[in-house]
Structure 1
Amino acid sequence: MLATYLLAAELGQLLAARGATVTTAESCTGGLIAAAITEAPGSSAWFERGFVTYSNAAKTEMLDVPPAFIEALGAVSEPVVAAMAQGACLRAGTHYAMAVSGIAGPGGGSPDKPVGTVWFAWATPHAIVTECRHWPGERAAVRSAAVQHALSRLVALLHDEAGG
């Protein structure tokens, strides 16, 4: 997808200009954000690694997500993605991280968290920003929208940090 490629390339330019690095912590996207990033030439200069933490155990073991967060609110929740982003930055030693956990479907939804619910977190040197989005459609459409949103929001945060 051209739009995703262009977002990844812009992300790379912004990070390279700062001498900064990024990592990903992915659940429902299963590594698609990392794959999109590594499509950009030169990504090895600013992309450190990607964590695919599909299971709850992986979130805890690889990213230090407290099990109590998962038990209290489920893996698709604000505290979990915030902890995923923070844990990814710490484990990878990067300046920035993107984390995503959602319900891509076709099953797994509930009245509180229907299929298409995706929580995001972006860790920056200054803050952790979180957001919940809902997308209609099939599994592939939800995952694709999540990848594009994760990249576009980090690009926007980097522009904001630079003052425009």
Structure 2
Amino acid sequence: MTESTYLLAERLGQLLRGLKHTVTTAESCTGGGIGQAITLVPGSSAWFEAGYITYSNRIKSKLLGVPPALIETHGAVSEPVVLAMAAGAIQHSAANYAVAVSGVAGPDGGTPNKPVGTVCFAWGAADALQAATVHFEGDRHDVREQSVNFALLKLIRLCEQS
């Protein structure tokens, strides 16, 4: 993890502590990287509720309640699926906020519609989730690192607007 990633996680913690809110993560392509960044910050147990690593579609459905039909219709790397992942993470953890991520980190798995580097994110509170799809350049490590930083930045902006 880079120093800048740590600083983002530290800033997120400062904001969440000030708001007296908690966050949960639902991760696929980052494999727990967001949760790792968060838990490297001392005192994160006060504001980090839970982290779900839901790499397979079956586990996305089983742990987070993502409807299998949603995955079949849109694919695991889609805004509807990450929105459902974030909603499920909040529901199962009682956190105030969630961030969810699913993407194609590479080097394989890309398609013409979803090339390697395509990552979908959802973040927010249960009643105000937002989603975005981003394309990152680089190898698998680069895509995952950029995804972690993007997720942390979105949570920081959310807290700053609260």
Bigger CA drift: 118-127 or 56-65? 118-127
The amino acid that maps onto 2:48 is F
How much does 1:126 deviate? 4.3
Which runs of no fewer than 5 residues in structure 1 stay unpaired? none
Paired position in structure 2 for 1:157: 158
Determine helix, strand or coil for the equivalent of 2:31.
Answer: coil
* Distance (whole Å) between structure 1 residues aligned to residue 116 and residue 84 of structure 2: 22
For residue 125 of structure 1, report the CA deviation from its aligned partner: 5.0
Q: Distance between the aligned counterparts of 1:34 and 1:10, measured in 2?
A: 14
1:134 is aligned to 135
Equivalent-residue separation in structure 2 for 1:125 and 1:64 (angstroms)? 14
Distance (whole Å) between structure 2 residues aligned to residue 87 and residue 116 of structure 1: 25
SS in structure 2 of the partner of residue 24 of structure 1: strand
| Conserved? CA contact 2:120–2:131, under 8 Å | yes
| Aligned-pair CA distance for 1:71 | 0.2
Cα distance between partner residues in 1 of 2:76 and 2:127? 24
For residue 104 of structure 1, what is the aligned residue in structure 2?
Answer: 105
TM-score, normalization by structure 2: 0.97
How many Å apart are 1:159 and its aligned residue? 0.8
**Residue 123 (structure 1) shift:** 2.5
The 8 Å contact of residues 89 and 123 in structure 1, kept in 2 or not, is answered as no
Q: Secondary structure at the match of 1:107?
A: coil
Counterpart Cα distance in 2 of 1:49 and 1:72: 28
The residue that corresponds to 1:113 in the other structure is 114
Indicate the residue corresponding to 1:63 in structure 2. Answer: 64
The 2-side partners of 1:84 and 1:46 are apart by 20
CA distance in 2, matches of 1:131, 1:62: 23
Instruction: Output the TM-score relative to the length of structure 1.
Output: 0.96
Percent identical among aligned pairs is: 57
Contact kept in structure 2, 1:37 and 1:43, CA below 8 Å? yes
Aligned length: 161
1:94-152 deviations in whole A, cap 9, x for unaligned? 00001000000000000000000000000225400101000111000000000000001
The answer (yes or no) to whether the contact 2:105–2:117 under 8 Å persists in 1 is yes
Report the RMSD for the aligned CA atoms in angstroms. 0.8
Give the gaps of 5 or more residues in structure 2: none
- Measure the CA separation in 1 of the matches of 2:54 and 2:159: 25
Give the aligned partner of residue 84 of structure 1: 85
Quote how far apart the aligned CAs of 1:86 are: 0.4
Distance across 1 between alignment mates of 2:151 and 2:26? 11
